[in-house]
Amino acid sequence: MDRKELLGEVERIVIKVGTTTITQGSSKASKDMMDSIAKQVRDLKAQGKEILIVTSGAIGIGLKAMKVKPNPNDILMRQAASSVGQSILMQKWNESFQVQGILAAQILLTMDIYSDRDSVLNLNNTIDTLLASNVVPIFNENDAVSIKEIGAVFGDNDTLSAMIASRVDADLLIIMSDVDGLYDKNPNINKDAKFISIVEEITPEIKEMAGDSVSGMGVGGMRTKIRAAEICKDAGCRMMIVSSVVDDVISRAVGGEEIGTIFVSDTHMSKKRRWLKSAKAQGRIIVDEGAELAIRNHHSLLPVGIISVSGHFSKGDIVDIVRGDVTIAKGISNYNSDEVEKIRGIHSSRIQEVLGKKKHDDVILSENLVNI
């Protein structure tokens, strides 16, 4: 499969810059690396391409600035360090882009913001306005206000970058990393490891090839990159893993050179269903075999097929649909958890009798469901 043909019509590109790329093995931001990325972005924008960046490195840079020894278990200190480091990181990015005559904008996200329908639609409007104004949006997870442990919300910036690429209908996600792509086994300990240039389908065998993070700085490893590739595949977005030590790697990769591993996508799920699939669920609805079959066949979820409810959620919240111990789908509930508990197992014609009101025959409409 020809790289230039695969990448010939790429217009909107998300670039994920990992911690090891930002720091180049040190504990502070590398000016040379950030300058190089800014220059490559300028060149791509000159070709008419739209660029968005997802950046890591805030925690490590903040710890260095605060003169604090890194401790992975000290979540409060890491959150404080992310706040310090993020301002330094954006200052560095702005300096690098200003040299190229480019204005950059900071967007900090949490999974709660991403999972709220109104917020994510406003996010899209902001991104579209920035891109139309020739501004480069720079994203990071807002670790400073996250209510969960760092690394357990979006999970990592590989996942965040894929979710953004999916959300903005990007054509390509480039993940800059400390490795040059996917191997069939860990190349650091296996000299006979074979490089995988193109991945057309993410099979169980491909997932088994993924190892842990090579560096001690970032939270992302090859497993998170495979997960990112799965998110991109649903969006019809290609993804590449490239090594940050390769000169002008972004420009060369987009130009079709045989650099890194490219994940091909030939599927395309609607934006709403992609959002549903990756957003955070507020509760769980456990269903029977008949309901599972209906959902698999893209039908609505009726109360008669519901066995039980777990967690507390409101009308309009996202919930996991579970059969046995397996999450089979996600959807937007038309009823709150208390109401679903009361009408579970009954026919839709009895909803009015049980609740004293009737909003819908369906607990979740088919258009608000996505299979997992």
Are 63 and 27 in contact by the 8 Å Cβ rule? The answer is yes
Q: Which CATH superfamily, name and number, covers 281-371?
A: PUA domain (2.30.130.10)
- Which whole-number Å values give the CA distances from 55 to 34, 70, 88, 157, 268, in the listed order? 11, 20, 12, 8, 26
- On the question of pLDDT at 143 being above 90, the answer is no
- What residue ranges do the domains of the chain occupy? 3-273, 281-371
46: enclosing H helix or E strand? helix 31-46
Count how many Cα atoms sit within 13 Å of the Cα of residue 103 in the half-sphere of its side chain: 7
- Which whole-number Å values give the CA distances from 150 to 69, 76, 220, 339, in the listed order? 17, 10, 12, 34
What is residue 220's predicted lDDT score, i.e. its pLDDT? 45
Per-residue model confidence as pLDDT tens digits over 183-225: 988 887 888 889 999 999 998 888 888 754 444 334 347 889 9
> What is the pLDDT confidence band of residue 144, given thresholds at 50, 70 and 90?
low
Q: What is the pTM of this model?
A: 0.82
Q: What is the largest CA-CA distance in the chain?
A: 69
> What is the pLDDT confidence band of residue 147, given thresholds at 50, 70 and 90?
low
Sign of the CA dihedral running 284, 287, 291, 293: positive
Q: How many residues does the chain have?
A: 372
Q: Please classify residue 62 by burial: count the beta carbons closer than 10 Å to its beta carbon, then call 0-12 exposed, 13-18 middle and 19+ buried.
A: buried
> What is the pLDDT confidence band of residue 37, given thresholds at 50, 70 and 90?
very high
Per DSSP, 116 falls in state S
Per-residue model confidence as pLDDT tens digits over 245-275: 999 999 999 999 999 999 998 777 788 898 9
Residues sharing a CB contact under 8 Å with residue 328, sequence separation 6 or more, in sequence order: 287, 292, 295, 296, 321, 322, 371, 372
What is residue 1's predicted lDDT score, i.e. its pLDDT? 65
- Return the CATH number of the domain spanning residue range 3-273: 3.40.1160.10
**Of the candidates 238, 239, 243, 249, the residue with the CA atom closest to the CA atom of residue 43:** 249
134: left (phi over 0), alpha (psi -120 to 50) or beta: left
**Tokens 């790697």, located at residue:** 249
